[in-house]
Amino acid sequence: MPGSSRVRGRVLAFTFALTVITYLDRVCVSAAAPAIMKELHISVLQMGAVFSAFTLAYSIFEVPSGWLGDVRGPRRVLTRIVLWWSAFTMLTGAAQGFRSLVAIRFLFGVGEAGAFPNIIRSFARWFPRRERGRASGIMFLGSRVGGMLSAPLALLLIARLGWRLSFVVFGAIGLVWAAAWARWYRDEPAQHPGVNAEELAWIEQDAVAGGAAPAATPWRQLLASRNVWAICAMYSAYGYGLYFYLTWLPTYLVSELGFSALRSGFFASLPFLLAGIADVTGGWLTDRLARRHSLRVARCGLGFTAFATTAALLFASTITPAPTSKALLLALALGSADLSLSACWAAPLDVAAAHAGVITGFMNTFGNLGGLLCPLVVGWAVERQHSWTLPFYITAAVYTAGALAWLAIDPERRIGAVPARHLRSG
């Protein structure tokens, strides 16, 4: 596009930075947990409740926050979200005991809910369909970068400033982002002074674009849509598998595989490194497949293959005897799952871009509900069944079910519109 502006690239840079900050603020409490438990006299079980308080609130408020993005626009809603969660990140440093810490982390989850649905809602307006996969892949790379950086940065700050001040520093980063976003971003590309005619034409090239938010959300159509429920089922499988890596993987590496602290640190970070590479690769791949074949191949074909491969890798990890091989297969499994992540978040835009906040809110709610179940199932299997193998059988079965859910999704059947294939045949 000779002479075209590149403002949407800066939108992507903003959202990349936001996902880094999201995971910095979300995961830093795990790094600070030993210091928090020691000072506040909190048990391991109570600390688990602190972690779950965030996930529960995050799940409950995903849909309302996503809906607000559809109605009011990502500029205002994301500004509110980041200001809210940054404030409660800073307040975490003021906790005086178990109850106050649970309350603060619950409210932190309330505030952060809706961040990703609103990012995807902004993509529906700023990127044509052919670029949404790559944009999502780069955006999710930021979350993996944040996941990798949070622990070492938090540990460094805790060593220098103590755990209380470290939360103040992390929260302040979000305040800076919110101020810059509110000043620069516009919900409609046509309203941004930096967008020229060529870029605007490129953004609006699709026959069915995101469009301005409608006056009313078609709740009945959304709730009756097979696509919506299939997307939710698929993403609950993804969330279930992801939360093993966020919660139990370090324990498994040390207690079951017998790795040293150095080796366990490496193999705990490796899955997120591979996942970050897969996010970018998968975003490029789903866009390429959409151009050369169809949306069904680009989304469902890629998603089915990625989930099925993840299930196979998890099963393979249970039959190989070598600890290093087990750890490598687990890392590859998350990379395989994340290869489909851009397709996961592009599918809701395909079926109803104008209601992307609501649909991705539903999707992410089910993903986090799956994430709530995984740590409980693993704990039950290890404590009651004395088995670390059983959880991987269960997770492989969950991913297999998720792969089948991909086959039930039709990205060409848009809510409130006649399916594209019917238009072609007519």
Q: What is the pLDDT of residues 357-391, one digit of tens each?
A: 778 888 888 998 888 788 778 878 887 888 889 99
What single DSSP character describes residue 193? Answer: T
**What separation in angstroms does the CA of 353 have from each of 122, 279, 344, 416?**
10, 21, 14, 11
- Judging by beta carbons within 10 Å of its beta carbon (0-12, 13-18, 19+), is residue 159 exposed, middle or buried? exposed
Kindly tell me if the per-residue pLDDT of 270 is higher than 80.
yes
Report the pLDDT averaged over residues 287-310: 91
pLDDT of residue 112: 85
pLDDT of residue 264: 75
Long-range CB pairs of 37-43, under 8 A, 24+ apart, other chains included: 39/163, 40/95, 40/96, 40/97, 40/98, 40/101, 41/97, 42/97, 42/98, 42/101
pLDDT band at 417 (very low <50, low <70, confident <90, very high): low
Report the pLDDT averaged over residues 7-33: 83
The more confident residue out of 370 and 424 is: 370
pLDDT of residue 210: 44
Report the pLDDT averaged over residues 142-163: 78
Q: Name the percent of the chain lying above pLDDT 90.
A: 30
Which amino acid type is present at position 35? A
pLDDT band at 45 (very low <50, low <70, confident <90, very high): low
Q: Which domains does the chain have, with CATH numbers?
A: 7-205 (1.20.1250.20), 220-420 (1.20.1250.20)
Which of 20-29, 78-87, 291-300, 380-389 ranks highest by mean pLDDT? 78-87
Kindly tell me if the per-residue pLDDT of 115 is higher than 90.
no
Q: Which of 112, 102, 397 is nearest to 240 (CA)?
A: 397
- Under 8 Å between Cβ of 40 and 97: yes
Kindly tell me if the per-residue pLDDT of 420 is higher than 50.
no
What is the residue whose two structure tokens read 């505030």?
A: 111
Kindly tell me if the per-residue pLDDT of 356 is higher than 80.
no
What digits encode the pLDDT tens for the residues 217-252?
A: 777 887 888 888 999 999 999 999 998 887 778 778
> What is the four-CA torsion angle of 292, 295, 296, 302, rounded to 10 degrees?
70
Which of 123-137, 282-296, 333-347 ranks highest by mean pLDDT? 333-347
Kindly tell me if the per-residue pLDDT of 46 is higher than 50.
yes
pLDDT band at 416 (very low <50, low <70, confident <90, very high): low
d(CA 357, CA 369): 18
The more confident residue out of 297 and 37 is: 297
Kindly tell me if the per-residue pLDDT of 154 is higher than 80.
no
Which of 98-107, 266-275, 291-300 ranks highest by mean pLDDT? 98-107
What is the residue whose two structure tokens read 């965030």?
A: 54
Report the pLDDT averaged over residues 208-217: 51
Out of 143-157, 198-212, 251-265, least confident range: 198-212
Mean pLDDT taken over the chain: 84
Report the pLDDT averaged over residues 321-337: 94
pLDDT band at 333 (very low <50, low <70, confident <90, very high): very high
Exposed e or buried b per residue across 368-391, where buried means at least 16 C-beta atoms within 10 angstroms of its C-beta: bbbbbebbebbeebbeeeeebebb
Assessment of whether the complete model's pTM goes beyond 0.75 = no
Tokens of 238: 């993804």
- Under 8 Å between Cβ of 172 and 377: no
**What separation in angstroms does the CA of 230 have from each of 53, 225, 274, 347?**
27, 9, 27, 11
d(CA 45, CA 34): 13
d(CA 346, CA 340): 10
pLDDT of residue 151: 65
